[in-house]
A and B are shown apart, each in its own frame.
Chain A
Amino acid sequence: MSSDSIALNPALESTRPIGDRLHDWVTTVDHKKLGILYILYALVFLVIGGIEATIMRIQLIVPHNHFVSPQVFNEMFTMHGTTMIFFVAMPIMFGFANYLLPLMIGARDMAFPRLNAWSFWLAAFGGLLLYFSFIGGNGLYGAGGAPDVGWFAYAPLTARVFSIGHSTDFWTLGLLVSGIGSIGTAANIAATVLCLRCPGMTLGKMPLLAWMNLVMAALVLLAISPLTAAQIMLSLDRYLGAHFFDTQAGGSAVIWMHFFWIFGHPEVYVLVIPAFAFASEIIPVFSRKPIFGYPVMVAATVAIGFVSFTVWAHHMFTVGMSSYANSFFTISTMIVGVPTGIKIFNWIGTMWGGKIEFKTPMLFCIGFLFQFLIAGLTGIMLAVAPFDWQLGNSYFVVAHFHYVIVGAILFALFAAFYYWFPKMSGRMYNERLGKWHFWLFLIGFHLTFDFMHIPGLLGMPRRIYTYEPGRGWDIWNLIITVGVFFQAAGILLFVCNLLWSRIKGPVCTSDPWDAWTLEWSTSSPPPEYNFAAIPVVRSRRPLWDIKHPEDPDWKYE
């Protein structure tokens, strides 16, 4: 079997003609290749979205700046938000799920390999469609115009009268198409986890990562579809003259908000639950202890999933809901803090009594824990409806969600990158560069997003392209912008580290971390078929059982 030996031997791989290799990648249905495609695709968009953020921050560095026009600024935050959520965070999570799930549950591929490839290419096409708006937004011959309606595109700004040209159409279609891809991937993840586990791996013995991805998939299925429905309605409005969100013909602006946030809130848990999953795999290994309270962790994840469908209107505290509705969404939102808190405590419980080793992945996990704690607490402040009447739509909200998304999710992602890089590439990353990346990014992150809370408290609304001097916002905006450059430097180091280590890094063994889950039992990188023989497991830590036959886990679980 020639293809297998090629996959096992990087030296041989590089002797094949580049055209062949490219063809392999484009037509692949292998979950590992698709996973890597998803990840690379998301990284490219991360840099694009980051550049858009940098443009915004440069514009806001001083009051009355003229770096970009208001129009361009509005396009920037729309594209930044849309890109980051739909074409960075989601695909990267799908990529890791694709790569890791079959390996961690002892399977040879995803449940539906061809659906998998189809979903990826749909997502990719959606991204291209969105970015095509820069060229085709005003009709093919006009100068470009990206959508400028904000990432939640409130009606009636998206109606034909307020959004002339095609930019909003590209936004709608891009999300519609990639959303269908996401639904495919989610179905695939769910079917893989439920139907392809290796013998012995009952639901209670799956790695937590598999559990959390299962919950994530369920959320995608139930949350992306409402968005798809709303996008269909919006397309009907724009192309066929329907009136769903056309306020001039009696349509409702508020119902769009409901439809969007019934998607939008579960969506943020779609992003954060895989981040929880990374932490739940990495923290135990670097603490040398099994996860504390496995069943409770599972229950908490499922609980978060359920509750997340009852809280959406906390994004709408200022639209004038009744006092009863506001109270309901206050309590339901705060309830989420309980299972989330349980998770934080369990991670600390895992470290407690362990022997913690501060390798780069662990450092990023610690950053994740610390920042998620703060971000969650600012979330609780926003959940207090009256407080939100002041904070809503201000920079405090922007700070809150970047604290979660960058401070928690991106940190957990970086941890995952360093942790699984040896598995994916067969080579070790550079620990020193990794630590530099961590500290630079940490400093940049705190400079930018700690201080972003303050202009919010001082009444600075979001989505403004400029502001008056003398409102007390100047100094904070300056610091915020400075931080971005530290972040960019950190990310640049990260990309360098990946590229350099991929080519020159020391070749590593199949199990460099002395870890316990199945992916470490096969070679690095794994062969195309993953496992020569399908493994059989008896506990949550199958490799522990093998390494410690005198004291295996299955005696206790």
Chain B
Amino acid sequence: MSSPSLTPSSLESAWILPSRGRVGMFCLIAAESAMFTIFLVAYIFYIGKSQSGPTPKEVLEVPIFATICLLSSSLTIHFAVAALRNAKSSLFAIWWFLTMALGIIFLVETGREWHHLIFESGLTISTNLFGTTYYSLVGLHAFHVTVGLIGLTIGMILALLGKVKQEHHERADVFSLYWHFVDVVWIAVFTVVYVIGR
């Protein structure tokens, strides 16, 4: 052989590297955080700069119920993953379903809020700078919740088909990272839109 060969030799200690699923997910989260940061900065920058009404104070109501739902869904998905790790498939399905339900409630609440804003308060994305920044920031977040819900639904279907086994807990865990991220972003969005901006 012309090329020198590197044959495996016994390595003293085991060779352990991080899981690529987790690393990949952390990369995605890093990128998404940068993106949300830009939207948040835009929101903060434009607070109070609208040239016409309505203002946040006049039309925004604090979505406490939806927030509680979304935040508690972080807990439920955590329990779901823990259940799967311990090979309790049906317990996993229950917690997973609860997570989904809480996510859906959150989306529905957002939808109702938007309906109210558009048809009663007359605020659309083109009304003023508040409308522009509000719908795009909250909308971007709602989009991420929707993507998460699609993932949850797929997981749910697989679980109902009995395809989710203990060996999949790693994947469920990676997915839950995404869901936690969506929740954490909501805390930032909530603070900026409903606390600082109102």
Contact = CB atoms under 8 A, between A and B. Distances in A.
Direct touching of A and B (C-beta under 8 Å): yes
Interface string B17-57: 11110011001101111111111001001100111000000
B125 A521 contact: no
Q: Number of contact residues on B: which range applies?
A: 35 or more
Contacts of B133: 244
Given A190-B27, A199-B8, A240-B125, A233 B17 contact: no
Contacts of B45: 252, 255
A509 B3 contact: yes
Contact of A243 (B23, B35, B129, B140): B129
**Which of B8, B11, B50, B135 is packed against the most chain A CB atoms within 10 Å?**
B8
A230 B36 CA distance: 11
Given A111-B20, A241-B126, A521 B5 contact: yes
A249 B20 contact: no
Contacts of A115: 24
Interface string A237-260: 000111110000111100100010
A182 B23 CA distance: 17
B128 interface: yes
B9 A536 contact: yes
Nearest to B14: A199
Q: Number of contact residues on A: which range applies?
A: 35 or more
A364 interface: no
A187 B31 contact: yes
Contacts of A112: 20, 24
A81 interface: no
B51 A249 contact: yes
Contacts, number: 146
B119 interface: no
Given A229-B38, A243-B126, A249-B51, A195 B19 contact: yes
* B interface SS class: helix
B92 to A, nearest CB: 26
A252 B46 CA distance: 9
Interface in A516-547: 518, 520-523, 533-537, 542-543, 546-547
A475 to B, nearest CB: 45
Contacts of A252: 45-46
A523 B3 contact: yes
B48 to A, nearest CB: 11
Given A225-B38, A242-B125, A535 B6 contact: yes
A243 B46 CA distance: 10
A221 interface: yes
B3 A521 contact: yes
A251 B49 CA distance: 8
Contacts of B36: 229
Nearest to A115: B24
Contacts of A183: 28, 31
**Which of B15, B128, B135 is packed against the most chain A CB atoms within 10 Å?**
B15
A255 B3 CA distance: 56
Contacts of B2: 509-511
Nearest to A106: B6
B27 A186 contact: yes
A533 B51 CA distance: 68
Contact of B35 (A200, A225, A533): A225
Interface of B: 2-9, 11, 15, 17-20, 23-24, 27-28, 30-39, 42, 45-46, 49-51, 125-126, 128-129, 131-133, 135-136, 140
| A-B CB proximity, top 3 nearest | A241-B126, A535-B6, A187-B27
Given A200-B11, A225-B35, A240-B125, 4 more contacts: A112-B20, A217-B27, A243-B129, A535-B6
14 contacts: A106-B6, A111-B20, A183-B31, A218-B30, A225-B35, A225-B38, A244-B132, A250-B128, A520-B3, A533-B7, A536-B6, A536-B7, A536-B11, A547-B4
